[in-house]
């Protein structure tokens, strides 16, 4: 474990755990205890990849890395630069995402530099993120795994490998930052409406004098919407997930004060919808 405080720069809530990144599934037992068969199956199938498993903390993991919990979040990233770094370090790297806590996640080195250039010594640029949205976090401590945060691996993918349904998550307490009502938030306010109401809502706000940024559904791509800035939502959910944070950042850069979007519903769209809901969430609770 590195000694440098990786939570200091993002100004992160210290009661929330970090992800411990490891170089391969074969290192899993160095960091966790009592891995259920389902957890091992998911690790073997999806690693390296955008799946984080919450398992019982092994003694090598400091409580600072787990937000004081007796569980630890572990994953193997699917990127040659990250894997080379982990192999060279030969340990676990606890790393928050390279942005200020609660704001839009970065998906390129430029995003990181724009936000943190003055606060960090070095940015290792591995190119733009392939998946775009964060990893799926699965609590695999019990016999029936639960999704704590939807992400790059879909529920359908997980259930296909397990051969059975996942458990329904309890909403009783905030356990991960991705579950705060407001997270991934741009500067502009985000308003969510049905896809067929996006244009009317955006044009009304435009008439009222707002600097409106529109997430234009692909079905209406040809419509010349009256607004300050427009991004056309890609039809492919993979492309949308990859572009989402860039779109939010771009509309902020163009100084929109309001963004109008709708929620996709299936597969990777669930992770996108989760991020958009939190981007639209009440800000005061962070």
Decide: is 97 part of the binding site for Mg ion (CB under 5 A).
yes
Q: Residue from 96, 102, 132, 195 that binds ligand AMP (CB under 6 A)?
A: 96
| Closer Cβ to ligand AMP, 35 or 256, answer by number | 35
| Closer Cβ to ligand AMP, 137 or 244, answer by number | 137
Residue 21: C-alpha distances to residues 51, 56, 91, 98 (Å):
11, 15, 9, 14
Please choose, from the candidates 130, 19, 126, the residue with its C-alpha nearest in 3D space to the C-alpha of residue 81: 126
Both tokens of residue 167?
């458990």
Decide: is 73 part of the binding site for ligand AMP (CB under 6 A).
yes
Decide: is 274 part of the binding site for Mg ion (CB under 5 A).
no
Decide: is 94 part of the binding site for Mg ion (CB under 5 A).
no
* Contacted by 55, from ligand AMP, Mg ion, none: CB < 5 to 8 Å by type: none
CB of 69 to ligand AMP, least distance (A): 4
Decide: is 66 part of the binding site for ligand AMP (CB under 6 A).
yes
Decide: is 275 part of the binding site for ligand AMP (CB under 6 A).
no
Buried b / exposed e across 190-216, counting CB within 10 Å, b at 16+?
bbbeebeebbebbbebbeeebbbbbbb
Pairing of β 189-192 and β 212-216:
unpaired
* Residue 15 β-bridge partners: none
Dist. CA 42–CA 281, nearest whole Å: 31
State the residues that interact with ligand AMP by CB under 6 A: 16-19, 52, 54, 66, 69, 71-73, 96-97, 134, 137, 148-149, 175-178
């Amino acid at each position: 474990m590195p000694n440098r405080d990786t939570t200091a720069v993002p100004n992160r809530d210290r009661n929330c755990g970090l992800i411990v990144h490891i170089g391969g599934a074969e290192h899993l037992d160095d960091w966790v205890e009592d891995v259920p068969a389902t957890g091992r199956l998911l690790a073997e199938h999806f690693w390296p990849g955008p799946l984080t498993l919450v398992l019982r903390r092994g003694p090598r993991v400091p409580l600072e890395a787990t937000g004081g919990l007796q569980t630890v979040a572990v994953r193997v990233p699917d990127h040659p630069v990250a894997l080379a770094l982990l192999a060279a370090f030969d340990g676990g790297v606890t790393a928050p995402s390279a942005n200020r806590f609660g704001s839009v996640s970065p998906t390129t080195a430029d995003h990181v530099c724009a936000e943190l250039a003055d606060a960090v010594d070095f940015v290792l640029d591995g190119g733009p993120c392939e998946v775009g949205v964060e990893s799926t976090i699965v609590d695999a401590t019990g016999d029936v795994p639960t999704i704590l945060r939807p992400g790059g691996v879909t529920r359908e993918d997980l259930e296909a490998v397990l051969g059975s349904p996942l458990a329904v998550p309890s909403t009783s307490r905030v356990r991960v930052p991705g579950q705060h009502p407001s997270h991934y938030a741009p500067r502009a306010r985000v308003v969510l409406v049905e896809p067929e109401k996006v244009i009317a809502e955006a044009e009304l706000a435009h008439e009222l004098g707002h600097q409106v940024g529109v997430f234009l559904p692909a079905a209406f791509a040809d419509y010349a919407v009256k607004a300050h800035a427009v991004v056309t939502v890609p039809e492919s959910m993979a492309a949308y997930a990859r572009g989402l944070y860039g779109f939010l950042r771009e509309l902020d850069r163009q100084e929109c004060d309001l963004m109008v979007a709708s929620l996709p519903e299936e597969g990777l769209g669930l992770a996108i919808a989760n991020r958009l809901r939190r981007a639209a969430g009440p800000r005061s609770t962070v």
